[in-house]
Amino acid sequence: MAQGTLCNRKPINTEEELRALMADNGGKLYYREMEELDVDQNALWEAIQKTLKSRLKSWLEICVHCGMCADSCFFYLANNKDPEQVPSYKIQSTLGEMVKRKGKVDNQFMRMAMDTAWAKCTACNRCGMYCPFGIDMGVMFGYLRGLCFSQGFVPWEMKIGSGMHRVFKAQMEITKEDWLDTVEFEEEGIFDEYKGMSIPVDKENADIMYTLNAREAKHYPEDITEAAILFNLAGENWTVPSEGWEQTSLAMFAGDWEACKLQAENVYAAMDRLKPKRMVGTECGHAYRATVLEGPYWAGLKSGKTPVESLHYVEWVAEALRTGKLKLDPAKKIKEPVTLQDSCNYVRNGGLGKITREIMSYIAEDFREMTPSKEHNFCCGGGGGLNGIGRYHKQRNVGLQVKMDQILATGCKMVIAPCHNCWDAIRDMAKIYQMDLKWSFLKPILLNMAIIPDHFKLDEDE
Amino acid sequence: MYEFVTGPLAWLAFGVFFIGLTVRIILYIRGLDWKMDRVTYRVNTSYGIRGAIRSVVSWLIPFGTGGWKTHPVFTVITFGFHLSLLISAIFLPAHNFILKRKWGVSLFTIPEAVGDMMAILVMIAVVMFIVRRLVLPEVRILTTAYDYLILAIAVAPFITGFIAYHQIFEYKLWLILHILSGEILLIAIPFTKLSHFVLFFMSRIQIGMDFGIKRGGMKGSGLTW
């Protein structure tokens, strides 16, 4: 069974392996080795027999080839209605074939399956909404990613990403010390601007335990600062955990089910340890999906719910504004026309479209919907890990066109995108397609509009 | 021959139809797995039921979902086809005449002219299904010989029935062919994609529960399909 030094069926479990893989720039050797990687057909078929149940089996069998899924898919639309982008075709020619052949597929097939699963689908689940039978091809591609991962056919950055979660319990190499240093540093920054504010760490029985995206810790620490200031302004009894603070899950994008479970359990362990009343996550879509919606199942929790009630950031914001915990100066509302991105993972797949619109009513004077909107809105084009995969950069850039056209059609030069992947996708599309566009998370806008109670203001001479 | 196809063969066909579909439903439900599917079927059941009902009902209404709205012509053909097929088969006077003679009961019957029109609608719809399979690239790439076979099995009873009823050709022969094609259809349903007769409901209930319980159904009114 030929397996490479970098490209093989073993998940990354040590820092040494992780660094070795990362050192291979762009995955050059990794992908070369992949061309020789053998398929363990017995293991593949065994995995399918164990895990392909009624739901997926029926989905594959019952598709009547009607083609209604075609124009539900942004990849199909962005690629000039290329028939090979029809969701049913994409899944039947990969997973469908794999099952029909009882796992007897070769290296070339698996590479094709990988290319389809990660570059022709972001698992946005829109097709599942438009199929008369409710066949959710996004879910099936998630499942296929799992099979591909188990056989070692996974994009380089995804293998690294899930390795990060296994080794560092975060999507980036941030140790506990790094994290605590970052928190301390940001807190000191807050002391320079406000008084009476803090970032409590490991506080037990708080009302809110905040979890976030490791990218914020590594590259956008101002996001952490903003979150902290907002919680303080709202008078929340909150904390961050010293461990289990990472809510994202590149493991989910990678199809590494074992790491998905470990990652979710990190957060749940923090919940068990600190016993907060609720957990609030940062502005990230897949983090919410992975930790709050799917996580309980990976962790085997029969309730299907997280140990502690969990909110997406937008739910906390809406509540804080609704109850007046956080007060905004209405004179500072956004005056220019502004539109709103509906992130798949918490709007279509989370039912929070009403919540985000409630927030817009507090912060914008001229809010204009995209067409279509809410749960029918299109994926940003960069979800499912696609934003970060170099091998599929071209495909991603083409896919962005649908969201771009939607934004242009609104006539807005500003878009609110409370999700890291959507934010990245919009940032990239603005650059690539030279759009006159501003995009923003909620935090900076809220901070800009927030009325600062006097007791937080530094004295003149401080 | 007539006695055979309306006797033992009919018993066999209906038997396979009813038992086969029952088996398919049971196998589907037994094959669900809350952990693999990542849906807690037995927890938050009220949300599951609400989600399931919304999922099934909205798709049973013409233009009741985004999917139907964005495909208006296909929606009209599909609803026209299915409604005509089901209503004519179940409420045709000729069928109920036999039912009355054999079992002493008859269902409500539609006027013969209406049944006739519905048979024609079914045939026209099938032609349109075939045309779109040939002409639309997004459908063509998915289409296989099997799809055409299924259409043939489904439309054969209507073509033969129409010919027999209007006595276009030799009545006795085409009556037998009609009955046989009907029985072939009944037997094929549990074993082919025609099983969507019941699996449409199973699949829609399942996805409705999924969205109702896990994917947002507990956060408000639920997904607008």
Q: Which positions 304-363 of A are in contact with B (Cβ < 8 Å)?
A: 304, 347-352, 354-355
Residues of B (119-148) whose Cβ lies below 8 Å from A: 132-133, 136-144, 147
pLDDT of residue A461: 65
pLDDT of residue A2: 74
In b/e form, how buried is each residue of A251-269, taking b as 16+ CB within 10 angstroms? bbbbbbbbbbbbbbbbbbe
Chain A residues touching residue B147 (CB < 8 angstroms): 64-65
Residue B90 lies in a domain: yes
Q: Is residue B12 in a domain?
A: yes
Check CB contact under 8 Å for A375 and B224: yes
pLDDT computed for residue A431 by the predictor: 97
- Assigned domain for B218 exists: no
Q: What is the pLDDT of residue A213?
A: 97
Residues B40, A304: C-beta atoms closer than 8 Å:
yes
Helices (H), A8-155: 15-23, 28-34, 41-51, 54-62, 74-78, 87-91, 97-100, 107-119, 126-130, 137-150
Secondary structure class of A439 (helix, strand, coil)? strand
Is residue B225 in some structural domain? no
Whether A351 and B215 lie within 8 Å, measured CB to CB: yes
- Read off the pTM: 0.96
pLDDT in tens, A120-168: 999 999 999 999 999 999 999 999 999 999 999 999 999 999 999 999 9
CA distance A95 to chain B (A): 15
Tokens 């170099």 identify what position?
A390
**pLDDT given at position B166:** 95
Contact flag A67-B66 (C-beta cutoff 8 Å): no
Residue B186, in any domain of the structure:
yes
pLDDT (0 to 100) of residue B192:
97
Q: Write the residue in A84, A134, A347 that is nearest to B141 by C-beta.
A: A84
Q: Distance (Å, rounded) from C-alpha A387 to C-alpha A432? A: 13
φ/ψ of A372, rounded to 5, equals -75, 175
Query: Cα distance from A345 to chain B (closest Cα, Å)?
Result: 9
CATH of A39-154, one of 3.10.450, 3.30.70, 3.90.1690, 1.10.1060: 1.10.1060
Domain regions of chain A by residue span: 39-154, 169-322, 330-449
β-pair type (A338-340, A208-211):
unpaired
> What's the complex ipTM?
0.95
Nearest chain B Cα distance for residue A241, angstroms: 26
Taking the C-alpha atoms of residue B44 and residue B24, their distance in angstroms, rounded to an integer, is 26
Task: Write the pLDDT tens digit of every residue in B49-58.
Answer: 999 999 999 9
Q: Which residue has the tokens 């994009």?
A: A155
Give pLDDT tens digits along chain A (462 positions).
578 999 999 999 999 999 999 999 999 999 999 999 999 999 999 999 999 999 999 999 999 999 999 999 999 999 999 999 999 999 999 999 999 999 999 999 999 999 999 999 999 999 999 999 999 999 999 999 999 999 999 999 999 999 999 999 999 999 999 999 999 999 999 999 999 999 999 999 999 999 999 999 999 999 999 999 999 999 999 999 999 999 999 999 999 999 999 999 999 999 999 999 999 999 999 999 999 999 999 999 999 999 999 999 999 999 999 999 999 999 999 999 999 999 999 999 999 999 999 999 999 999 999 999 999 999 999 999 999 999 999 999 999 999 999 999 999 999 999 999 999 999 999 999 999 999 999 999 999 999 999 999 988 765
Structural domain contains residue B167: yes
Q: Is residue B20 part of a domain?
A: yes
Number of domains in chain B: 1
User: pLDDT per residue over A87-122, tens digit each?
Assistant: 999 999 999 999 999 999 999 999 999 999 999 999
Q: How many helices (H) and strands (E) does chain B have?
A: 12, 0
Asked whether B148 and B133 are in contact (CB, 8 A), the reply is yes
How do residues B80-91 score in pLDDT, each as one tens digit?
A: 999 999 999 999
Domain that holds residue B25: 2-211
CATH code (residue B100): 1.20.950
CB interface of B with A, residues 151-210, below 8 Å: 193, 195-196, 199-200, 202-204, 206-208, 210
Indicate the CATH number of A330-449 among 1.10.1740, 1.10.3470, 3.40.50, 3.40.1000: 3.40.50
CB contact under 8 A, A84 and B223: no
Fold matches, A39-154 and A330-449: no
- The answer to whether residue B205 is domain-embedded is yes
